[in-house]
Amino acid sequence: MTATIELRQLRYFVSVAEELHFGRAAARLHMTQPPLSQTIFALEAALEVALFERNRRGVALTTAGAALLPEARRLLAHAGELPELVQRAASGATGKLVLAFVSSADYSVLPPFLRAYRAAFPHVQITLREATSDLQLDDLMNGRIDAGLVIAPLPGKARTELDYLPVLSEPLILAAPAGLAALRGKREADLRLMPPLPLIIFPRPISPSLYDAILAVFRAAGITPAIGQEAIQMQTIVGLVSAGMGIALVPESVSKLRRPGVQYRLLAQSTPLVETGLAWRRDNSSPVLQGFLELMRKTL
């Protein structure tokens, strides 16, 4: 038999158990003694066990009553937390957020974003996924992530379903193997004076806008680079430069990634700006996501 227990019954039981006197418990509950006694009798009937020993000398807990007391206190405490819990969930202060990011964001906007968000929403569980822009867009369109830091612009289909917030615009800079004579003592690199080293670059399907921006810089300098290696992570690209496999053009924030054997230089040539932005599904009404977006707008 499954007993139906009300929180009111448990609250009355705890009062009697702590006072060990029905009269004092009734006064504590701001009620008369008869309805209190009736409620305790109903609780005992529902549980099919006596919770109190009653005699002319007073009231004492039975073994069953002593076992129930800590559990009743725990249930009442949890019930008292429910209003705050649901209010926090409704305001986005608790829950889960799945955030993806391109590798370059790890050296620029991601760390301060996360610090600000963690300080403002300490009870939200954040799951981070490093992924290229194309994979993020697919995950966003299929609801597998809540938001993603991607390289702009969004492709046409994505723009019909996703919202977008620009976060960072930065120039491209040169990452080159250390010790090149063409860079010695210079703050800027002129691509026309560089030795014909292979270019290390993203595959175009991964990030068409970044790929095209990089090649546009070479075209503007009258150079057709030989593509030596392709890699999908900034860490890998810089690692290949460190190994002397070639040069790369990377967003300026990647210069924070220090590797032995790599030198970074601003470019003498003008470069298009690479934009990183936050994308999310337009129909995602998650309070957690809305709280994240609101904070990011304030942070920006």
What is the predicted pLDDT for the residue at 91?
A: 59
Is the pTM value of this prediction over 0.75?
no
Q: Say if residue 254 is in the same domain as residue 289.
A: no
Mean predicted lDDT score pLDDT of the chain: 91
Residue 213, domain member (yes or no)? yes
User: What's the pLDDT score for residue 85?
Assistant: 59
Are 152 and 190 found together in one domain?
A: no
Q: Is the same domain home to 152 and 293?
A: yes
Query: Is the four-CA dihedral 54, 57, 59, 64 of positive or negative sign?
Result: negative
Asked if the structure places residue 2 within a domain, the reply is: no
CATH number at residue 227: 3.40.190.10
70 and 194 together in one domain: no
Question: For position 90, what pLDDT does the model report?
Answer: 62
**What's the CA gap between 87 and 92, in Å, rounded?**
9
Q: Is residue 162 part of a domain?
A: yes
Give domain status of residue 65, yes or no.
yes
Instruction: For 19-73, give the DSSP string.
Output: HS-HHHHHHHTTS-HHHHHHHHHHHHHHHTS--EEEETTEEEE-HHHHHHHHHHH
Question: Domain for residue 158, yes or no?
Answer: yes
Q: What is the CATH number of the domain that holds 33?
A: 1.10.10.10
How far is residue 72 CA from its own chain's centroid?
36
Q: Give the residue ranges of DSSP H helices in 91-142.
A: 110-120, 133-141
Query: What is the predicted pLDDT for the residue at 155?
Result: 85
Please provide the DSSP assignment of 190-218 as one string. -GGGS--PPEEE--TTT-HHHHHHHHHHH
Q: What pLDDT is recorded for position 132? A: 92
pLDDT score at 62: 93
The whole domain housing 214 covers: 172-272
∠ Cα 6 40 44 (to 5°): 85
Quote the distance between the C-alpha of residue 216 and its chain's center.
35
Phi, psi of 144 (to 5 degrees): -85, -20
- Do 279 and 163 have their domain in common? yes
Residue 31 covered by a domain: yes
The residue out of 64, 90, 116 marking a domain boundary is 90
142 and 282 fall within a common domain: yes
Tell me the per-residue pLDDT of 254-280, one tens digit each, with 9 for 90 and over. Answer: 999 989 999 999 999 888 899 999 999
In this structure, are 156 and 285 located in the same domain?
yes
Do residues 237 and 203 lie in contact, with contact meaning Cβ atoms separated by under 8 Å? no
Do 44 and 134 share a domain, yes or no?
no
Q: How far is CA 79 from CA 4, 29, 43, 106, 185, in A?
A: 16, 18, 18, 41, 69
Question: Which residues in the chain land under pLDDT 70?
Answer: 1-3, 82-93
DSSP label at 244?
T
Total structural domains within the chain: 3
Q: Residue 2: what pLDDT? A: 61
Cα dihedral sign, 281-287-289-294: positive
Of the candidates 49, 272, 26, the residue with the CA atom closest to the CA atom of residue 171: 272
On whether both 186 and 264 belong to a single domain, the answer is yes
Q: What is the pLDDT of residue 165?
A: 95
Q: How far apart are CA 276 and CA 169, in angstroms?
A: 6
Residue 238's closest CA among 258, 218, 252? 258
Q: Do 150 and 207 share a structural domain? A: no
Within this chain, do residues 203 and 230 fall inside the same structural domain, yes or no? yes
